[in-house]
Amino acid sequence: MLQIPYSGSDPLTLATCLDKARTKEILSYHGIPNAPFFIAAHVSQIENKNLTYPLFVKPIWEGSSKGIFTSSFVNNRKELSEQVERINTEYSQPALIEEFLSGREFTVSILGNGEEAEVLPIVEIDYKDFPEGFIPIYSYEAKWILDTKENPLDVFSCPAKLNPVLETRIRQIALQAYNSLRCRDWSRIDIRLDANDNPNIIEINPLPGILPDPKENSCFPKAARTAGISYDEMLNKVLLAAARRNNLL
């Protein structure tokens, strides 16, 4: 509004990506794969739904895994009702219900705009060393309780070990999502495989976390370091992309 050039996506993209259902609707319009879903602003809205369990339930308007717990993974109607009621009540918002994607999970960092957009090395989230009883999801418990600066979880692998065909497909889908939501300068795209190893978008993060300490789990800087890009160089690349987009160079 003040006509001051800035880096990153505009308010419309930021707001849209925070609304998980609107994001999925746009992805679906563009033919970009994501898990089948519906929303429930009240527990009564799950009635008469043709559901395939397991399902995954989360708040529609939150980030940083807020509201996502081990209990968000549901196997029957009773568990689904409980989780929809929890989100409606505790977060005062609708619940997003998705078919659970059972395959491997990745996060893809992107720098730049248009044809110059660069996909950094892909990070895989490997849940095999999670404590017993934890569902293989990067939940609130995992992100903010189990994973600490003093004792970080060893669950991130970069570059991910992928066959060339799957790696190319993941990169393509990430870029398609980046462009369809009109992300600018940088973003991080979360992707999970279904039971047939098909990549699906699970979330778009136009404001990715960028903790500077290599000892802390922060995927965008991790991908940059794997590409040989230092933390300062990474930030300068974002600024350079924004400057070029604003015709300042």
94 and 113 share a domain? no
Amino acid identity of 162?
A: L
Count of structural domains, the chain: 2
pLDDT given for residue 61 in this prediction: 95
pLDDT given for residue 142 in this prediction: 66
107 and 89 share a domain? no
pLDDT given for residue 120 in this prediction: 98
22 and 85 share a domain? no
Burial of 192 (0-12, 13-18, 19+ CB in 10 A): buried
110 and 66 share a domain? no
- Picking from 100, 120, 141, the residue at the C-terminal end of a domain is 100
Domain residues for 177? 1-34+101-249
178 and 238 share a domain? yes
185 and 94 share a domain? no
- Picking from 100, 120, 146, the residue at the C-terminal end of a domain is 100
95 and 107 share a domain? no
87 and 109 share a domain? no
CATH number of residue 53's parent domain? 3.30.1490.20
Residue that is written with structure tokens 């609130």 in the block: 140
172 and 246 share a domain? yes
Q: Which 3 state secondary structure label does DSSP give 29? A: helix
47 and 124 share a domain? no
- Picking from 100, 115, 140, the residue at the C-terminal end of a domain is 100
CATH number of residue 226's parent domain? 3.30.470.20
Burial of 160 (0-12, 13-18, 19+ CB in 10 A): buried
Closest CA to 119 of 229, 30, 9, 196: 229
Tens of each residue's pLDDT in the chain, 249 residues: 899 999 999 999 999 999 999 999 999 999 999 999 999 999 999 987 877 899 999 999 998 888 899 899 999 999 999 999 999 999 999 999 999 999 999 999 999 999 999 999 999 998 877 777 677 777 757 666 666 667 666 788 999 999 999 999 999 999 999 999 999 999 999 999 999 999 999 999 999 999 999 888 899 999 999 999 999 999 999 999 999 999 998
22 and 91 share a domain? no
132 and 79 share a domain? no
pLDDT given for residue 136 in this prediction: 74
